[in-house]
Each structure stands twice: as C-alpha cells, then as structure tokens.
C-alpha cells in the first residue's frame, strides 16, 4: 500500500470508509486498535512526531503488512485501526496480533541510527454500525484505554467490546476533553503548616472540575478515567503550569506541591515539561515539590526512576505521598528517591488511637530526620493532633483543621496582603 502524507500524518490510499460502515449481514466487524510509541514503557499512548524518517518508514511497514481483506485506517500519529471481516476467528486475530508486535519491534534504520518502537494492540468487536469516522475514533480511544488499563484475558478478544460500549465513560471522557479546552478545571490550594512556626510555607495544588452540568466534581470522580485514557498528561500539564504561575507571585520562601501520576512519569518528556513550567512561570526550582504516591513509586520502571532523579537534579524536591499505605519496609524506605515524606492519613489515625501507632510514626520521623528528609503529617483534625505530632517531631502538618482547600484568591489572600505590605514598607 502506498502512503500519501499530509501535515497531520499518513493517509493510506486504499482506506475505504464506506466498507467500514456498510453491510453487516455477516455480523459485526472486528477491529484492532494499534498504538505505537518509540523507546518507551508500554503503558499508555505517547505522541510521535508524524513526519520524521523513522515514523514514515514504520507507517509504510505497517501498511505493507496489512493485506486484504483487512483494511488499515489512520487515527493520528502512531495510532492505527485495522478492520477485519466479521468471520475472523479469535485464533486469527491473536495470530495477527503476535505478528504485528513482532514486525513493529524490528529496528528501523535511519540516518541517525536504528529507531526502536513498541506497541499496544486493543482488539474490539464493533457492536453496532458507526455513522461517522469521529464516532469510530472515540470508540477506538476508549477501547484502547480499557485494554491498556485493565489487561483482561488476551484470549477473549471480543471481551473488550463491553468496555468500549460504556456510554457513561465515553461521555465523561468527551466532557473532560471539552472541560480542558473551555477552562472548566480549577485549582484549589490547601495550606501545609510549618509545625515549628505555625506559618504556611507550602501549598498543595488540588485540581477540581467545575462542570456546567454537574457542579463541582472531586478528583476521585475523574482522575481515574483521566489516567486510564491518557488524558492525565494534558490535565497534569495544565495543573503544573497554572500552579507554578499562581505561586510565583508570592514571597520567595513559599513552595508549591503538585501531584504527578505514574502515567505522567512514564512519558519520555516529563522532565522537559517540568522544566518548561518553571521557565515560563519564573518559579525557582527549589520552590516546586513534585508529589508521587508511595504505590506509584513501587511500580515505576528503572527508566521512570531515572526521570525522578533528573527532576531532583534540577533542584525540584520529590515528595512521597501517602507514605505508610502499603510498602513501608525499611528496605523500601532506604531506597526512596525522596526529599519529603507525607505520612498517610491512616498512619496518623493509628497514632491518634494508640501508643503503638505513635511509636511507628515516631520511628519513621526519626529515620527521616537522620537522612535529611522532611516529614509531613496528613489528615490533621484537631489541636490534640497538632500537639501529638509536635512531640513526635514531624516537620509539617496538613489537614482540614487548618482549613479546606480554596481557590487562589481566597487561599493566598493573607499571603498576598502581607507581601504587598512588606513591599510598601521597603
């Protein structure tokens, strides 16, 4: 198959949309949703440069591999659809999948040396006629999302279809994309209190979705879908850039903590994205704290851990969030690439209930102090908690006792007034 190239990418000459939406007398057609990425962990889709030499050669290789009666469609850089006849068996789909993976894994020679690619393939049975190419693309994205995240039995290739038919998730995913484009997301800031001075030295940035239909939506209701779909990369970029801009106007001692997901850390350009956010906002690297959950750290690949070290080398602090929620062995503790430890709510709740719980927090706080790691207690609820954690020697305190998260104008009000007053007195 010959490939024509536009500015957006390849256009296979033999792509026949009418056959994709035509006769279904033999039953629903079978689709293979193919996502290709270069030199990265095979977790979620990543962007490819659409017209560099390696991508052109790879696209031509895939086009030559897909032969009639199968058809090849192009969704975007590195994203393809392969349509198969309705009578294609599971064994035939599985065989094609294995051959495709093997073909894509072969190095591609370029003027700059060999290029290596990996792919994710999500099989799905078309449940109903799709009237537009856009509707096919939306279903493809959701099916790929489900395949990558859930990792269901690969032998039951038609079983991805129920996930792709989940109209609630499809609507939510489309709504989130619209929300990003129309400015529906906002950031609420929660203060993190210095246990010694009782001043606000740090704020944590917490994203919220102000939907015109559903009102304010909490992160627990949309972050999981954003991670499964890969939209977390765009959403995370927005949060990082906005938070850096918001905090840059405060005094130079105030820091901002921003959550970064495991999915974001698997992106090849995560280090440059953080560097760009700092440069554009003018925020000094030492004023940014990147939060990563303890569970995520335990699941990261060596490549992703290298990126964390690269971020630290920029001067950005790394905080391990939810510490104590599942992996807190001494071996794990000593290997953490961390500057801050944020003790999980459950750990603090146990300390509130028993001397044994307090002893555990005290031991972790002492170990952290010995190796120069800052400690933060999450879930502080009362003055009694403040007194207890002060005796234990925790460095920072965070919780609803000090106030609920609020938008920038309200959260930073006192800080901004103090900054203006100080400037006027100079």
Predicted local distance difference test score (pLDDT) of residue 358: 96
CATH T-level assignment (fold) for domain 3-165: Alpha-Beta Plaits (3.30.70)
Low-confidence ranges of the chain (pLDDT < 50): 1-18, 20-25, 40-47, 127, 131, 149-165, 417-426
Q: Which residues make beta-bridge pairs with 82?
A: 32, 72
Answer whether 328's CB lies under 8 Å from 361's CB.
Answer: no
pTM above the 0.85 mark? no
Task: Quick: pLDDT tens for 60-99.
Answer: 888 888 888 888 877 766 778 888 877 777 767 777 877 8
The closest alpha carbon to 231, from 239, 223, 240, belongs to 223
- Domains of the chain, by residue range, sit at 3-165, 174-425
The closest alpha carbon to 265, from 312, 206, 306, 323, belongs to 306
Cβ count near 69 (within 10 Å): 10
- Residues ≥6 apart with Cβ < 8 Å to 397: 192, 193, 195, 376, 377, 380, 385, 386, 389
- Residues ≥6 apart with Cβ < 8 Å to 218: 208
Phi first, then psi, for residue 10 (nearest 5°) are: -75, 150
Predicted local distance difference test score (pLDDT) of residue 416: 52
Q: Do domains 3-165 and 174-425 have the same CATH topology?
A: no
**Tokens encoding 300:** 């990261």
Long-range contact set of residues 264-268: C-beta below 8 Å, sequence gap at least 24: 264/232, 264/233, 264/236, 265/292, 265/296, 265/300, 265/304, 265/307, 265/308, 266/40, 266/41, 266/43, 266/44, 266/301, 266/303, 266/304, 267/40, 267/46, 267/233, 268/38, 268/39, 268/40, 268/46
Pairing mode, if any, of strands 374-377 and 71-76?
A: unpaired
The closest alpha carbon to 47, from 89, 94, 9, belongs to 9
The closest alpha carbon to 186, from 380, 410, 345, belongs to 410
Pairing mode, if any, of strands 317-323 and 340-343?
A: parallel
Task: Quick: pLDDT tens for 271-288.
Answer: 999 999 999 999 999 999
Q: Which residues make beta-bridge pairs with 205?
A: 189, 258
Whether domain 174-425 has CATH 3.40.50.10860: the reply is no
Measured CA to CA, the distance from residue 259 to residue 265 in angstroms comes to 11
The closest alpha carbon to 326, from 298, 307, 368, belongs to 298
Q: Which residues of 289-309 are buried (b: 16+ CB within 10 A; e: fewer)?
A: bbbbbbebbeebeeebeebbe
Measured CA to CA, the distance from residue 337 to residue 324 in angstroms comes to 16
Q: Which residues make beta-bridge pairs with 71?
A: 83
Predicted local distance difference test score (pLDDT) of residue 330: 60
């Amino acid at each position: 198959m010959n490939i024509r190239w536009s500015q957006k990418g390849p256009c296979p000459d033999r792509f026949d949309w009418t056959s994709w939406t035509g006769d279904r007398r033999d039953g629903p057609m079978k689709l293979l949703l193919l996502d290709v990425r270069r030199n990265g962990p095979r977790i979620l889709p990543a962007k490819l440069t659409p017209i560099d030499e390696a991508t052109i050669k790879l696209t031509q290789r895939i086009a030559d591999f897909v032969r009639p009666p199968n058809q090849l469609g192009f969704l975007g850089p590195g994203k393809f659809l392969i349509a198969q006849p309705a009578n294609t068996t599971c064994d035939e789909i599985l065989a094609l999948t294995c051959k495709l993976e093997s073909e894509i894994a072969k190095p591609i020679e370029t003027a700059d040396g060999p290029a290596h690619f990996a792919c994710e393939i999500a099989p799905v049975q078309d449940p109903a006629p799709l009237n537009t190419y856009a509707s096919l693309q939306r279903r493809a994205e959701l099916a790929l999302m489900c395949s990558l995240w859930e990792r269901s039995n690969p032998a039951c290739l038609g079983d991805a279809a129920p996930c792709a038919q989940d109209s609630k998730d499809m609507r939510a995913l489309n709504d989130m994309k619209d929300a990003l484009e129309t400015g529906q997301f906002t950031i609420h800031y929660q203060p993190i209190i210095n246990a010694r001075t009782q001043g606000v030295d740090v704020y944590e940035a917490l994203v919220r979705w102000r939907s015109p239909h559903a009102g304010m939506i909490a992160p627990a209701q949309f972050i999981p879908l954003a991670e499964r779909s890969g939209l977390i990369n765009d959403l995370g970029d927005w949060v990082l850039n906005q938070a850096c801009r918001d905090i840059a106007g405060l005094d130079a001692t105030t820091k901002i903590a921003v959550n970064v997901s495991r999915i974001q850390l698997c992106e090849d350009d995560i280090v440059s994205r953080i560097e760009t956010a700092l440069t554009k906002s003018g925020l000094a690297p030492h004023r940014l704290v990147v939060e990563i959950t303890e569970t995520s750290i335990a699941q990261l690949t060596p490549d992703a851990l290298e990126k964390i070290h690269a971020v630290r080398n920029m001067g950005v602090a790394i905080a391990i969030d939810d510490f104590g929620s599942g992996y807190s062995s001494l071996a794990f503790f000593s290997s953490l690439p961390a500057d801050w430890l944020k003790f999980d709510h459950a750990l603090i709740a146990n300390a509130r209930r028993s001397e044994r719980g307090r002893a555990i927090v005290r031991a972790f706080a002492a170990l952290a102090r010995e190796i120069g790691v800052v400690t933060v207690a999450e879930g502080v609820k009362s003055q009694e908690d403040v007194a207890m954690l002060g005796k234990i020697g925790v460095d920072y305190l965070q919780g609803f006792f000090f106030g609920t998260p609020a938008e920038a104008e309200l959260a930073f009000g006192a800080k901004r007034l103090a900054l203006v007053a100080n400037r006027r007195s100079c």
